[in-house]
Amino acid sequence: MLAIAAEPDSIAAAVLADFGLDHDALDHALEVESARSLAVVGIDGLDPELVRATSRPITARPSWASSTREVFRRAQIVGGRRRGRSVELDVLYGIVTASVGTVPRALEYAGVDRDALIGRVERERLVADDEPQRGTQGLSAQERQALRREAQRRMQDARREAQREAQAKRRGAQRAARAPQGEARGSDPASPDA
């Protein structure tokens, strides 16, 4: 998201700026998120230099973090196989639709209405998809409308899928949280269940 915000002529950067999220504001929100996350585990007043990324010799091809892979997966779902002007908006959509993690917390700390931001990104994607591009020039109004409907359908499908995945993760976490309690109850010979 920082890289998107740093791009001066980017539609996605303009969307972020409209929500008060220029590069500096995002950097600050991420620093606040980091400090608060560390405070939750009892680490306060840590020197910022200690938590900065450190360089290491590249001995192998670098790998993506799982959250980054998830962003690209969501962007690919809503973007499909097309190549167009809204790729940066697809990636931004993938970032801001994360329901857990650093970005949602940073947006919350920055006072950004995440749902409004997602809605704005979706609208900008539709506008970008509707602009004349290679492959869509010369299409009739009905054909462009059909393309818009298809884009809306893909976005709705992607949101539903993301909601289903989040719900499945919550259920899995709830089951995992209950499992140790059940095992502990069953293993205690003095418990009423034994």
Average pLDDT of the segment spanning 80-109: 82
Specify the amino acid at residue 131: E
- DSSP characters over 151-187: HHHHHHHHHHHHHHHHHHHHHHHHHHHHHHHHHHHHH
Distance CA 68, CA 49 (A): 24
Task: Please write the tens of the pLDDT for every residue from 132-175.
Answer: 544 445 566 677 667 777 877 887 887 788 888 888 988 988 88
**Above pLDDT 90, what percent of the chain?**
14
Residue 98 contacts residue 71 (beta carbons within 8 Å): yes
Question: Does the global pTM surpass 0.75?
Answer: no
User: Domain boundaries in the chain?
Assistant: 2-49+67-132+140-174
